Structures are given as structure tokens and as C-alpha cells.
Amino acid sequence: MTQGKSPASMKPLRGAAKSAAAARARAEAVFERLAAALPEPKTELEYTNPFTLLVAVVLSAQATDAGVNKATRPLFALAETPAKMAALGEAGLTDRIKTIGLYRNKAKNVIALSQALIREHGSEVPHDRDALEALPGVGRKTANVVLNVAFGERTLAVDTHVFRVSNRIPLAPGKTPREVEDGLLKVIPERFMSHAHHWLILHGRYTCMARAPACGRCVVNDLCAWEGKTAAKPPPPPSRAKPRNPAEPTA
């Protein structure tokens, strides 16, 4: 009797298919650990609505979230809409964000994007990637953050922390942020996509740091293949309370 061919699903994986399967399995294991350690990760930027989130993300380029929050607390109390922000003018906004790096260019972009929102979108932040990226000062990373945080899209913003963590473990190694983003989208299980970039950002910010990674307290240490891992266990990171959205009622 002639033996029938084995179904494709029963054939052993080889080459690229085997590597892809291994990458997906590693990503699933990594995100299971990160999710267990921090079930509800949040952006550390403070905001009150989609517009103030958009402005905060634009201001955060090459700046720390803490530094941005310090400047935007009084700013957003005064100008939480495109019309109010535009009314400040470039000079008025520049004076209020001087503590943030590249503040002159950022002030120019924020005023211009506020005017564009008024003129082209009825003062609303568009729920559309192309429309967001057409705004002054808004690139793919910023659009991804706004789509994810403000609108619940399963997008993934690749900043310096996500780029570092993804290449170290590795999850989706790449030479550019877009290569890493595309690679991560292929290996991260759908159930983790809503919070994926927050888990990676916070892991890179507080554990997998650039210069002194805290490998001794890393929850994915045994899943990481990075050759530069350290053995010492440093003190725990500072407490990270959930940043308060000023729009939320206080107890």
C-alpha cells in the first residue's frame, strides 16, 4: 500500500519558518512575564484629552516624561484646546516650555499643529494615521502613541527604549525603528498588543537601561540572550505610581 504524504502541518519546521516560530514563542513568553509583573501599564505623560496627549508626545521628543510633565501641568491648565493653544502664539508658548529641550522648534510645531487642527479637523484630533502624520511635528512614533493611548488602536511606538529592548532580548532585531516595529508586529500575540509598547518602554526605562541594566531583577532574564547581561542585583526601582489624568475625579 502506498503511504500517503504527511499533511503540511505535520512537517518539521526548517530554516526561516523555524526561526519565526521561535521568535513568536519567545515574544509570547516575554509578554506573559511583563504582563504578570505590571498588568495595566500606562503612559507616564500627563494629559487631559487627545489634544493635550498629542502636544505632550510632541514635546517629549528627546526629553524625559518627567520634564515634560513639569512644564505641561501649568500649560494645560491654561490651554487644553487647539484654540487656546493657538491663542498663546509661538512666543507665549516658548516662554512656557523653556525647560524642555528643543523648545523653540517644538513651540513652532505645536502652534502650527493647533492651527491645522482648527482649520482642517474642526479642532479635533483625527483618528487617522495619515491625518496625524500630516500635522507639523508629528511623525510615525507620535501618531502610534496617540492612536494607541487616545483611541485604543493596537499600534506600537518604537522609541529608544523599545528599540534597545527589542534588539537585546532579542524580540525583533532591526537597524531602524521601522524595522523593529514591523518585526514586533509579526511576533507579539494579539492579546498583548494593546499594552505592548508601554511594557517595553517601562522595561527599558526602569530595568533594561542603556548603561546600567538591572539584569538581576529582570523578570525575563532567563529568556534574554543578550551577551552583556549583568549578574548583580541592584536595589529596586523607585515606586512608579500611575500618573493621574487630571480629567479623572480624585477620591
User: What are the residues whose beta carbons fall under 8 Å from the beta carbon of 108, sequence distance 6 or more?
Assistant: 90, 136
Tell me: pLDDT of 6 over 50: no
Place of cell 498583548: 192
Please give the grid coordinates belonging to residue 229. Answer: 547581561
Decide if 127 contacts 149 (C-beta within 8 A).
no
Pairwise CA distance, residues 185 & 188, whole Å? 6
Catalytic positions, written as ranges: 141, 159
Please give the grid coordinates belonging to residue 36. Answer: 504578570
Best CA proximity match to 207, nearest among 141, 159, 172, 161: 161
Pairwise CA distance, residues 93 & 72, whole Å? 11
More confident residue, 11 or 145: 145
| Residue 22 pLDDT class (50, 70, 90 cuts) | confident
Best CA proximity match to 150, nearest among 247, 19, 26, 12: 247
Q: What is the pLDDT of residues 51-97, one digit of tens each?
A: 999 999 999 998 999 999 999 999 999 999 999 999 999 999 999 99
Place of cell 483618528: 127
Instruction: Tell me, letter by letter, the H, E, C secondary structure of 106-141.
Output: HHHHHHHHHHHHHHHHCCCCCCCHHHHHCCCCCCHH
Specify the DSSP element, H or E, that contains 50. helix 50-59
Averaged confidence pLDDT in the chain: 89
Pairwise CA distance, residues 30 & 182, whole Å? 18
Average pLDDT over residues 173-201: 96
Q: What is the pLDDT of residues 199-236, one digit of tens each?
A: 999 999 999 999 999 999 999 999 999 998 876 555 56
More confident residue, 238 or 165: 165
Amino acid at site 139? G
Tell me: pLDDT of 45 over 70: yes
Q: What is the pLDDT of residue 108?
A: 97
Tell me: pLDDT of 240 over 80: no
Q: What is the pLDDT of residue 250?
A: 35
Over pLDDT 90: what percentage of the chain?
Answer: 80
The helices-and-strands tally (H runs, E runs) of the chain is: 10, 0
Residue 57 DSSP class? H
Tell me: pLDDT of 136 over 70: yes
Q: What is the pLDDT of residue 10?
A: 52
